[in-house]
Amino acid sequence: MGVRKRFAVIGAGIIGSAVARGLIRKYDGADVTLYEKEDHPAAHQTGHNSGVVHAGLYYEPGSLKARLCRRGVSLLLDFAREHNVAYEECGKVVVATNDPEVERLHGIHARARANEVPDVALLDRDGLVEVEPNAEGIAALHSPHTGIIDYRGLTEALVADFRRSGGRVRFSTGVRRIEQRSGAKGSSAIVHSSVDSQEYDQVIVCAGLQADRLAARSGEAKNPTVVPFFGQYYILEPRFNDDVNGLIYPVPDPKYPFLGVHVTRRIDGGLMIGPNAFLSFSREGYKGLGLNISDSLTVATDPGFWRFAAGNMATAAREIAGMLSSKKFVAEAARYVPSLDGADGHRATRGIRAQAMNRDGTLVDDFVIDRAGATMFVRNAPSPGATSALAIAEHLIDTAART
């Protein structure tokens, strides 16, 4: 009988939970422990996102994002069907309102085709109205297989499946640092938690909003640093629920680092607009001002952030207007769906995106995974991280097995 391998996974968001489940399924008889500092899974990014299952329209062909998003959709939907997780293939249109946007739309179409996104099609004005009767634009890109899902429910199902297979979950157990150890029998890693210290053959860190801090405390590079951006969502009153059939997005502005305010169907049948994107003064503050002094000082002393801010002042001014005024927030969405103009509703709990940033102020676009001894650190996994979660887990586990 061989030696029983011991693994630790840090973070019970959707990626960490998928990794833990993947390890125990791959290695028969393995001892796998999933650490989570909160008392439940999906407590941060996973439980505060738009619920969209991305098809892979925007990503650089050949990048990790492109490859793992397409693979991730297939794995995600298979798991959802098997475990009765709520999912709806509602479709998505990316709407152009002027000629420069139409040109960019053609570029997105070319990327989508290169990424083998199924059944994507360019639409003229009449074609757009056929798909979304209340949408307004001069052209659109239609992705009929983009969908929405209950990511929190899916993560809970991953954790339950992991536990049924013999995995151990340690909730309310924060990890302070990971110590690398090498010896005659090879390398290992010691997880120093708030409770104790345990040694493992391999550790995979999926710490999300705390990724850079845990890496730095473990002796690894501080960069890329995580800069948190909050996204505000606005849930419209129920009488607007049937105004759109699926998801309606603007054409991304190349001068703007995020996708812009869009109209999103919710898995519970509601209709939501958002998110805007603005610097968050806390990595984990989802209500009120969300002010955390330590988190704010971390951003204020990051030279990369100030370089980024200097090049994005116009964007910041536009975003803060929507942050302060619900009417302006709704008006942004009404550019594409005029029937929503003046709609009432209420703000939902905000989401906070962990965005890795380089020292020169550029945002890290692709997924970033670093290796240090017996430990792998996921340093950047923004959207489509949730869509790609099971594929990211597969990639991490296969990479670890080759070293």
pLDDT tens per residue, range 200-211:
999 999 999 999
Query: Does pLDDT of 170 surpass 80?
Result: yes
Please report, for the domain that includes residue 310, its CATH number. 3.30.9
Let me know whether 286 and 338 are in one domain: yes
Q: For residue 280, which of 27, 18, 45 has the smallest C-alpha distance?
A: 45
Distances (CA, A) of 181 to 59, 290, 372: 37, 38, 10
Tell me the mean pLDDT in the region 108-130: 98
Residues 69 and 188 in one domain: yes
Judge if 50 and 194 occupy the same domain.
Answer: yes
What is the tens place of the pLDDT at every residue in 287-332?
A: 876 789 899 989 888 888 888 877 765 665 555 555 556 788 888 8
pLDDT at 277: 76
3-state SS of 323-357 is: HHCHHHHHHHHHCCCHHHCCCCEEECCCEEEEEEE
pLDDT attached to residue 257: 63
Q: Are residues 350 and 244 in the same domain?
A: yes
How far apart, in whole angstroms, are the C-alpha atoms of residue 118 and residue 170? 40
Domain boundary among 106, 124, 144: 144
Q: Among 38-42, 74-78, 175-179, 311-315, which stretch is predicted with the lowest mean pLDDT? A: 311-315
Pick the last residue of a domain from 109, 144, 179.
144
Q: Residue 241 in contact with residue 269, Cβ under 8 Å?
A: yes
C-alpha Rg value of the chain to the nearest Å: 21
Domain that holds residue 353: 226-363
Judgement on whether residues 175 and 34 belong to the same structural domain of the protein: yes
Neighbours of 237 (CB within 10 A): 12
Say if residue 49 is in the same domain as residue 172: yes
Beta-bridge partner residues of 226: 356
Q: Give the Cα separation of 349 and 232 in Å (integer).
A: 7
Question: Is residue 332 located within the same domain as residue 291?
Answer: yes
236 and 272 Cβ atoms separated by less than 8 Å = yes
What CATH number has the domain bearing residue 26? 3.50.50.60
pLDDT score for 316: 54
The count of domains in the chain is 3
Do residue 136 and residue 110 come from a single domain?
yes
To the nearest 5 percent, what fractions of the chain are helix, strand and coil? 35, 25, 40
For residues 99 and 136, membership in a common domain is answered with yes
Query: Within this chain, do residues 200 and 331 fall inside the same structural domain, yes or no?
Result: no
pLDDT tens digits along 230-267: 888 999 999 999 999 999 999 988 766 667 789 999 99
- The answer on 193 and 137 residing in a single domain is no
Which has the closest alpha carbon to 244: 336, 322, 346? 336
171 and 125 inside one domain: no
Q: What pLDDT sits at residue 1? A: 45
| Prediction pTM value | 0.94
